[in-house]
Chains A and B, each alone.
Chain A
Amino acid sequence: MQRILNALLQFKNTVLYLFLLLLSLLFIYNQSPFHGFSLEKYGFYFSSKLFSTSKNISAYFNLKDVNKKLTEENEQLKNFELKENDILLYPEALNQKKRFPFRVVKAHVIKNSFQNQRNFLILDVGEKDGIQPEMGVISANGILGIVHSVSENYANVISILHQDLKVNVRTTSSPAFGSLLWSGQSPTEFHIEDVVSNAKIAIGDTVITGGMSSYFPLGIPLGKITQLKKNEGSGYYAIDLSLFSDPSQVYNAYVIENKDFKELQSLLKKLPQ
């Protein structure tokens, strides 16, 4: 207390000046409407600056929430997108009621690799989120792999960068299908096997999922054909393809659940081997 008083006494001239200045500012503010208006304008300017700054700061700390909302929104949109992919191929199917057994769950890639010949991913969703083995995993622009095993909170995924994984694909121009498999070098270079050589396909055609594997719905765009060779001896094409997006650089992923998976499997078992 004594120190405060001493400081006040030491700067008594300044304190007195500031006090009287405040008094005269109040006086001028009340006396003259023009000055009052101008002072209000400055006050408004400063308060708006202050508010916009604090708003920016709080917006920065809200980014995590916003991000979460956006990924939730993306999940819903992905559901719609997958459902409507085949309408691009078969426009006459528009407005027809159809059964769409696929459902999308959002996930994040927390471990990824591409240096090995057989790569795996780990996702931050598990049994708790309804993930089961043998579900498809896609990214925003292509497919990532197939769920291999799940724990309570995590899922182990066989990456598409795995030499033994084959995915059913076709092109937008022709319904002839083949199998996509990794060439084992660059993470965007793939081969397509088993496409019959009488199919009408050309370099530059877009490759999409074929919809015959029960893992992925029809029509997810994957990449473009870069090389095409007709192998006369075997009657199949040898096709090279480059993916739209690099599966080794993905954070946001979507797990696709096929509600009819068990039904399809039991049906397949009834076939004579």
Chain B
Amino acid sequence: MKPSYFISFLLLVLLQVVLFNHLHLFGAINPMLYLLFFVFYRFESDQTLLIAFSFLLGFSVDFLSQTGGAHTIATLTTGFLRPLLIRNAFGITVETPQSFFSDSRILNKVFFLILLVFVHHLLYFILAYFSWESLILILIFSLLLMGVTLSFYPSKK
């Protein structure tokens, strides 16, 4: 376990709760920056620890912004599915050392980000609305917010 994970964890939660939850872009959209944690977390690090971290991450955001529990479930599930997303985006397993793809193409990284954010946002909005009638709304919101969130990410990541 590296202390840098703790620092980034705390920073992201604070940023999310204090700053990004009050942005209200176009009236309603708050980008979810705390997902960057899944990008910072090194690919070869322990997956079990990541699941615990993602639960804590979602829980703290939920707890500090007084939302029901949608963040927790969406983040936890995204953390659990991350190896699958990595395999889809990069075509390699988690066990491959980081150095292998430090020079991998930017397209793979963008694709990974899109997958990650889309899975998370889809889950989040399904849980937030919790009814099949608003499925179209869920999809629209997921895609819209995905675009906004992605635009906030460092472009060179």
Contacts and interface: CB of A to CB of B under 8 A. Distances in A.
A12 B46 CA distance: 12
Name the interface size band of chain B. 10 to 19
Contact of B51 (A16, A25, A28, A34): A16
Interface residues of A, number: 17
Contact of B55 (A12, A24, A25): A24
Contacts of A17: 51, 76-77, 80
Mostly, the A contact residues are: helix
Given A13-B80, A17-B51, A35-B68, A25 B130 contact: no
A14 B76 CA distance: 11
Contact of B77 (A16, A21, A23, A38): A21
Contacts of B52: 16, 20
B76 A35 contact: no
A35 B73 contact: no
Contacts of B72: 24, 27-28
Interface string B92-132: 00000000000000000000000000000000000100110
A32 interface: yes
Nearest to A39: B130
B73 A12 contact: no
A164 B73 CA distance: 86
Interface string B66-79: 00111011001100
Contact of A12 (B48, B59, B68, B77): B48
Contact of A38 (B48, B70, B131): B131
A16 B77 CA distance: 11
A14 B81 CA distance: 10
A2 interface: no
Contact of A28 (B48, B55, B70, B80): B70
B2 to A, nearest CB: 19
Interface string A35-63: 10010000000000000000000000000
Contact of B69 (A13, A14, A31): A31
B30 interface: no
A32 B69 contact: yes
B68 A20 contact: no
Given A16-B52, A28-B68, A35-B130, 11 more contacts: A12-B48, A17-B77, A20-B51, A20-B76, A21-B77, A24-B76, A25-B69, A25-B73, A28-B73, A32-B69, A35-B68
11 contacts: A13-B51, A17-B51, A27-B72, A28-B69, A28-B73, A31-B68, A32-B69, A34-B130, A35-B69, A35-B127, A35-B130
Interface of B: 47-48, 51-52, 55, 58-59, 62, 68-70, 72-73, 76-77, 80, 127, 130-131
